[in-house]
Chains A and B, each alone.
Chain A
């Protein structure tokens, strides 16, 4: 017979024996990204595997900046992602609120359509969307086309709807009896209460925009509106791929997000749980 603490110890060891290799496999590409961002350009082709960082980061970054005007593209990405996140949170909240709290003709159909779009892969949508926006509306190379078409986010709508329907109805009844207007109930009662869900949604939406490559690549070819992922993509030329620049740019784009995620992780997980389980 094993004692209880021995059983616990065995289980812990077993668990770590599985989890640690998994974590390492996951970390390896990230580590290599950091390594190559600090190595000279040709290190990636050297015959012996390079596993440790060197001192070429500033050099690589200077080259990247010279090739693409990288800092400006990062600035554009930040602006686009921020505007996108703020507007999208507001729109999805309003849609979620309407779907959670009001009964209207065709509500079921609207919900079904929103749910249905979730099952469509992005790549099925993006080409028709491009043709419509760029050719039919003639809006290629505009800020509007860069930001607005991806705004509608069914996941966000469902997220917010779930969060609002979990709130006890008597709370809104109480406000109604007190003569609080519907829009005030939404802004002053419902939205503040949905804060954990909104925090999680903000992270999801910001990351989605930050990482979006295909849409900005398709809809825009003005250099002053280029976003950072597209700038990195442009380093893959026909004859030459600038790996040092790509890795350096990837580090600059990834690490702040990784850091923010670790810091906000508690809210993030709580918000998703609140939206999904309760």
Chain B
């Protein structure tokens, strides 16, 4: 609390001790009284003291008042008093009014206090959230002071409060609701609040726009009478400016929401426009500013272009043009309207064409362009208006070859119309008028008619001027240099030099014309070499630029002034270093960078009107080229010529390379895809194998069971003298089984050979892919190969198992045969008893054999299923084989392609090397290309 004491100490008219005590007592009552009425009275009393004893009330009561806001939510009266008191303590606005007569020091002290109290209030961000909730209270006595308090807090600590509002989900939305409040005071103060809230915070601006701000504000503007409306309209417009300035997202929303169309009626002016109120002028200024925000040259070109299109289609541009031609419009509105029209047409062919067709309502009607140019070269017109007209003319010609042609045509002998004033006449008049400002404007305007337009540069060479009676006509080009040499004002000479530089740059014929006059080069060298004062530095720099252009764009058609001769001249008369230094005077000039900033010509005073924006771009482009050109010897130049040629060749080669890389890229992609599909195939294979494995396991189990059974049978048979017939049958079955087994074995061997064939294929594929893909596809491939390897191993182990089974089977067979031979010779000793015994034994044996038979048939079934499994496996194997075959063929094709390309790259590289170029190793290029490719993917 030290800071507050400090502030208080500075207060000259401190309260009487009794007042401080009173405030203390009131605060105690607010804090501790259990009766609502009592608390309410105390807060009301604090409020009444809060203006006069702002410090004391602020320091002592803030916490208590915030507490009231939190706890006495149901009583709007006490809430109102508390909010009012807080507002009086925090706001600096009241202070301003009171302190108007007092000294600045006291004012500053008040501001300090407001800031400190605001900081104190913001110590807990929840306090702002609390105020946002209180806004929902409909009672005027709560909502209004709440709005004012929030506004004051925003004014004092904008960024902090914005941050808190931004993260409370309903915050902005609640504030927006204020615009819908039927009580004007609240709506209007809500506007002020939103102005503060949106200042410099794009995120809030977007949310406010999302909450339909455009719609509501435009509605209010219309309801209030558009430009004829009062300060509320102004406030709405200010808020709109906040929302659109430097916020491309909102600008896009504004355009897409069809709100540009709703601006058109703003500019409907009547017949008589005298006696506009100051408010109307302010409103219109803001309205024009809004139009300009949507088409500003600093916006993205696409955004500006679509807004421009829209402004033409909805008639807004036409409306603005009627203001241009209307009578009685205040000069500053007229000026701003011209600036606005300028940016609405800049670079937009349709809008430029429309502008060219606009006529002034004079008799006879004259083109608006002509009428405007008349103002530009008229000394009596306000400076800012003349600048605006120049801007408009520049914007009309910007990227408008057609318009440039039309302007230049008005100067050409064949098309001059003697009966009416033309743009060309006005420009020539301006160029040679005694008014240096007119000279400058006309020179720059004419330069814009030539900008990036070789045809018009050449056309303008045809223009001849009649100077005085009896003397032969002089070319426009020559007349310009004549005036230069007559030592006119700096502004005039700067203008003319900029025109000449623009004119002859990139136009060798114009350079020749210029050099053809024997006086011009000596004049320039004299200007550059002399040691002149500060004022002349810019002119010297421009002369150096002009001479430099004569060197750089020289086609050597004049023997006296070839590139080489001019350079020798510069070296002898001026000195290379001196020349370069003088050339540097242009960009070092204090006004240069200002002009480079944006297209609109804006000057603090008429004397500062020296640089044109487009010209600064030309300087930027030429300075380096000329410096190089002057420094270079002729040999170097020749070499450069050659280098240029080889460079061109190299460019071609590089293009070819790029093409190649692109192709290779595609191939790599293809290969990758193939690897992927092979991976899936492997997966399928793996699944089949595991299926196979489990089936084999089943078979093994069944064999085991069978083996056990057979073992038992053998035992019983060896104990008995069985029935041959039965046993014979058994043998037959056994041999059948054996045959089947044999068949199975054959199939297995077949499969095995197929598998090893496949192995070989995979091996060769592996080496092929490795060779083809290099490091990129390698990992995929090894993975695949590993998988295949594993697969192979599995199949191998299956085979081993099958072999094992086979052995067991053979063993079983052997034993079965042994059993049958045991039972072969039956002994005959016919005794009834033995017979009966034998018979019963036979019966037992028969039943056992029966059982055995059942077991056999089961075995048979199992064998059948095993056989079909093998069949399935076989088809799958063959499918796989063909697939492998196919992919091998594709790989081969790819390999061919790659080899082909390698060959091409190699020969190209060789050619490059032959040409003396250091060639990057192709692998490097490849590798880099691949890594960047992968990075791209990683970003995804």
Instruction: Tell me if chain B binds chain A.
Output: no
